[in-house]
Structure 1
Amino acid sequence: MNTRSMIFTLYGDYIRHYGNEIWIGSLIQLLKEFGHNEQSIRAAISRMNKQGWVQSRKEGNKSFYFLSDRGVSRMDEAAERIFKLRNDKWDGKWRMLLYTIPEAKRNLRDELRKELVWSGFGTLSNSCWISPNRLDKQVENLIAKYGIEDYVHFFVSEHKGPRTSRQVVEESWNLDDINKRYQSFISTYSEKFIIDKNKIEKGSMPDGECFVERTKLVHEYRKFLFVDPGLPDELLPDQWLGVYAAALFSDYYRALAEPASRFFESIFREGNEITRRSREYNAFSHPLMVNE
């Protein structure tokens, strides 16, 4: 597993709930549980610093790293989507973004495309991106971030046919491929969940192993942020496996949460302020993890 991606996962699922800051020594110790070496960890966190995802400060001879405002915003958005087990009800409208970014700004265009996929937009045609979700704020932030006011148009509109809204979805996203990915996730983790839950109930699964498995679980499930647009139920196929994958993720996460957090705190308390843990944080369940 990529070191940089694993650091993002640890910040999202643990560190941001403990004052949003960690001593590099603790981060190295945690990532060694996954086989990452000190050199690769330092290189990855340094790269994240240069990219503006994290910032650093010195205290004596210790270096501490914390999420930047940009990093916090991305983590909040990711958490809301990862732990939201039901999609929003559709208001019947489509958000449509069209752009004409010149070839001289190709890198900017490529970055914008990545951001739009992350946010859940699909391509109806070349340079025409659509979503049934309320992404108005995200679009405003992207326009401001990249300074592309002169190159884009954003519409909130209704679809009048002649094809159905589900056919529009089929043209804009490859739901069959996403469903196959969910099937693979379910096949892998349904068996692991049963085995690990039994071991935890018997007290035969060490806290460190629970920490590794919970982090891997979040890390793998987080990948769906880059492929699943989170479409409203009204626009999904009848045999949509995303619902089952979300339920499996929720049950497995909760089973691993308490011992995993115990292990994290056992490492974190050496060199960090454990008292900075958020009062709202509950290791046993995520505040956004609702079944309704």
Structure 2
Amino acid sequence: MKPQSMLFTIYGEYVRHYGSEIWIGSLTKLMGEFELSEPAVRAAISRMLRQGWLVSRKVGNRSFYSLSERGKKHLEEAGERIYKVESDKWDGKWCIVSYNIPEERRSLRDQLRKELGYMGFGMLTTSTWISPNHLEDRVKDLTEAYEITEHVEIFSAEHKGWSESKQLVQKCWNIDEINEKYKGFIDTYQKDYEKLAEMVRQNQEVADSLCFVEKTNLVHQYRKFLFIDPDLPQELLPELWLGKEADELFQNYYQLLNPGAIRFFETVYEAAPSK
């Protein structure tokens, strides 16, 4: 388990709902539930500070870490996708991004590709990416932040040929591979969910610390689909699509675990002094 990735999960699931700031002592105790050492946690926090995800402040001899504006926005966008609601009928429009970034700015070009993939874009050609979702504003914000607007063009258009829409999807995304990963998620968590649901029905005691670990791991694993699932509308999905089944399992298991997980977090979390 990578400490930085788990920190994103802890901040996204808990800390951002409690003022977005947490004492380092509370944070290391929470991370210790996953057998992550204090030096590993501190090293990950230092990286996140350098990368602009966190900001720090000292109160006496105590260090508190909060999400930066960039970090808040990133986790809000992730939360919207993880806990998504049913989308409207697809309007048939594609968001298209085309770029021609000079070789001397290759690092920015590579970063742009990563960001587009994270948003759910698929690569049609080396420098042309498409998505059936309305992501124009997010791409504008991204390219302005990277100061590459002169090298990027953004379109909203209809596809007129020659592939069928579902054939276009197969060209740009490995749907079979994504489906297989959803199957793995279901195979991993279905029995755990059924076991816990039975314990709840029988009024058996479930430790809050266990709920915290299980729920956080559940979200941590499900969050990985943000990097591979383009969140396609129903009209573009194959007949056998396990994403919906995986989402239902995630939501049901999450609801069972959440109350105990929150109780445990609140016993560890220490409110930051007023600024």
Shift of 1:90: 1.1
Per-residue deviation, 1:89: 2.6
Q: Distance in 1 between matches of 2:217 and 2:88?
A: 27
Matches within 5 A, 1:171-210: 171-201=171-201, 202-210=203-211
1:150 alignment partner, SS class = helix
1:183 CA displacement: 0.4
* Aligned position for 1:280: none
Give the SS at the match of 2:19.
coil
Deviation at 1:34, TM superposition (A): 0.5
Q: Judge conservation of contact 1:87–1:230 (CA < 8 Å) in 2.
A: no
Distance 2:13 2:273 in 1: 16
Which residue number in structure 2 is paired with residue 138 of structure 1? Answer: 138
> What aligned pairs does 1:178-257 form with structure 2 within 5 A after superposition?
178-201=178-201, 202-257=203-258
Shift of 1:147: 0.8
1:255 and 1:169 mapped to 2: Cα distance? 35
Determine the C-alpha separation between the residues in 1 that align with 2:157 and 2:79: 28
> Among the aligned pairs, what percent are the same residue?
52
Question: Could you tell me whether the CA contact under 8 Å between 2:97 and 2:129 is conserved in 1?
Answer: yes
Given residue 166 of structure 2, which amino acid in structure 1 is its aligned partner?
A: R
Q: How does 1:142-157 map to 2 (within 5 A)?
A: 142-157=142-157
Residue 204 of structure 1 and its aligned partner are, at CA, apart by: 2.8
Q: CA RMSD in A?
A: 1.4
Match of 2:271 in 1: 272
**Structure 2 partner of 1:283:** none
Matched length: 273
The equivalences for 1:1-292 within 5 A come to: 1-201=1-201, 202-268=203-269, 271-273=270-272
Give the distance between the partners of 1:36 and 1:203, measured in 2 at CA.
29
TM-score (norm 2): 0.97
What secondary structure sits across from 1:238 in the alignment? coil
Q: CA deviation at 1:131?
A: 0.5
Question: Partner amino acid for 2:44?
Answer: A
8 Å contact kept, 1:208–1:260: yes
Q: The residue matched to 2:149 in structure 1 has which SS?
A: coil
Query: Deviation at 1:137?
Result: 1.1
Tell me if structure 2 keeps the 8 A contact 1:56–1:66. Answer: yes
Question: Structure 1's 236 and 274: CA in aligned 2 closer, same or farther, altered over 3 A?
Answer: farther
Q: Secondary structure at the match of 2:205?
A: coil
Q: CA deviation at 1:142?
A: 1.1
Gaps of 5+ in 2: none
| Alpha-carbon shift at residue 118 of structure 1 (Å) | 0.5
- Displacement after TM superposition at 1:259 (Å): 0.7
The answer (yes or no) to whether the contact 1:54–1:67 under 8 Å persists in 2 is yes
Per the alignment, residue 281 of structure 1 pairs with none
Runs of 5+ unmatched residues, structure 1? 276-292
- Give TM-score scaled by structure 1 length: 0.91
* Whole-Å separation in 1 of the counterparts to 2:247 and 2:134: 21
Cα distance between partner residues in 1 of 2:88 and 2:78: 16
1: distance between equivalents of 2:33 and 2:256? 20
